[in-house]
Amino acid sequence: MNSNAEKRERQRCRVKMFVMGEFGNNVFSSTAQNISASGMLVETEKILARGDTIVCSFVLQRKMTISGEIVRVAPKKAGLYDYGVRFLNLDPMAKGQIEDACRLQKKP
């Protein structure tokens, strides 16, 4: 049985990269923990809520700026939060570059 979670798990790759985020008129820094063509997990001190729309800027193979929706909120240790971000309107070129980066990471 292939659930969406299992499919997503196969496509996700671990990363440690700086992500500049924007919410409204506020800019914040975060660290991506993993990424896939459907979204990313970021860690930050910024307080956000499920349903918030943010803009993420980061460099994978090139600089990307992608809008995303907060779909999961997980408080961590003092003052840090993990957020699951679902990408919105990801262009085909960015999607391909994220998938390529994950494929390259999984090669032995």
- Please spell the DSSP secondary structure of the chain, one letter per residue: ---HHHHHHHH-EEEEEEEEEEETTEEEEEEEEEEETTEEEEEESS---TT-EEEEEEESSSEEEEEEEEEEEEE-STT-EEEEEEEES--HHHHHHHHHHHHHHH--
Higher pLDDT, 104 or 63: 63
Q: Quick one: pLDDT band at residue 3, thresholds 50, 70, 90?
A: very low
Amino acid at 64: M
Each as own residue / partner, the long-range contacts of residues 61-65 (CB below 8 Å, 24 or more positions apart, any chain) are 61/97, 61/100, 61/101, 62/97, 64/94, 64/97
* pLDDT tens for each residue of 12-42: 899 999 999 999 999 999 999 999 999 999 9
Calpha distance 105→100 (Å, rounded): 9
Domains and CATH numbers, the chain: 4-106 (2.40.10.220)
Q: Kindly tell me if the per-residue pLDDT of 4 is higher than 70.
A: no
Angle at the Cα of 84 from the Cα atoms of 34 and 86, rounded to 5 degrees: 95
* pLDDT tens for each residue of 52-103: 999 999 998 889 999 999 999 999 988 999 999 999 999 999 999 999 888 8
